[in-house]
Structure 1
């Protein structure tokens, strides 16, 4: 498996499944007469980030992961989404961005130094393989799973097949 496939394919699978999950969440709100803001602002626990923020972070870890692994300019995307449609648009833009990376851009990325923020006024540098497997993908999946779990906790009828994008 190429390093491109190990990163881009993983990001795309989850970004696409999250798009489907958002569609189900929106339908759930309509069917149960729930205001969308209820789910968009839902959290698993008061000190955790909201559903909307989880989706934004999923997008950020995919875009910034690809950019950092290929030493491309890291995009800055404002977190302004306030509706399911706006979150779906962000996911669509992220999917297009991730799809724009070619396999050749990832050649040697596994051993390339990747420097990224690691807290206020701090950076960390890892080799590309470590960055992908120990930082970018774990954070990406954490926020994707948390977004899924927030919706499931709030009664949206989704499961593992939805999370994996095979429903």
Structure 2
């Protein structure tokens, strides 16, 4: 398996599944007459980030993961989304960005140094394989699962198949 095959399909699967989850959440709000901002601001626990931020972080980890692994310029994505539609547009933009990468861009990425910020004045450098398996993908999946959990906790009828999306 190429490094590209370990990276791009994983990101795309979950980005697409989150798009479906947001569509179901939006329909849930309409059917139950719930103000969408209430669900978008929901958290699993008071010290956790809300649903909207979970989606933004999923987008960031996919975008920045691909960029850093290929030593491409890391795009800036301001967190301005306030509606389901805006979050779905952000996911669509992220999907297009991830799809734009070619397998050859990931050639040798597993052994190359990846330097990334880990605090206000701190960076960490890992080899590409370690960056992917110990940082980028775990964070990506954490925020995907948390978004799913927030929706499920708030009564949106989603399950494991919705989380897994189309494989």
Instruction: Tell me which interval the TM-score lies in, with the shorter structure as reference length.
Output: over 0.9
Residue of structure 1 equivalent to 2:159: 159
1: distance between equivalents of 2:70 and 2:156?
A: 37
Residue of structure 2 equivalent to 1:115: 115
Residue of structure 2 equivalent to 1:150: 150
1:135 maps to 2:112: no
Query: The residue matched to 1:42 in structure 2 has which SS?
Result: coil
1: distance between equivalents of 2:166 and 2:103?
A: 25
**Gaps in structure 1 of 5+ consecutive residues:** none
Residue of structure 2 equivalent to 1:101: 101
Query: The residue matched to 1:157 in structure 2 has which SS?
Result: coil
Query: The residue matched to 1:114 in structure 2 has which SS?
Result: strand
Q: Structure 1 length normalisation: TM-score?
A: 0.99
2: distance between equivalents of 1:81 and 1:120?
A: 24
RMSD over equivalenced CA pairs, Å: 0.9
1:33 maps to 2:36: no
Deviations 1:108-144 (A, max 9, x none): 0000000000111000000000000000000000000
For 1:42-121, list aligned pairs within 5 A: 42-121=42-121
1: distance between equivalents of 2:6 and 2:112?
A: 15
Q: Structure 2 length normalisation: TM-score?
A: 0.99
Deviations 1:84-107 (A, max 9, x none): 000000000000000000000000
Structure 1 segments, 4+ long, off by >3 Å, are none
2: distance between equivalents of 1:8 and 1:63?
A: 10
1: distance between equivalents of 2:98 and 2:71?
A: 14
2: distance between equivalents of 1:164 and 1:45?
A: 24
Query: The residue matched to 1:118 in structure 2 has which SS?
Result: strand
**Gaps in structure 2 of 5+ consecutive residues:** none
For 1:4-43, list aligned pairs within 5 A: 4-43=4-43
2: distance between equivalents of 1:150 and 1:44?
A: 6
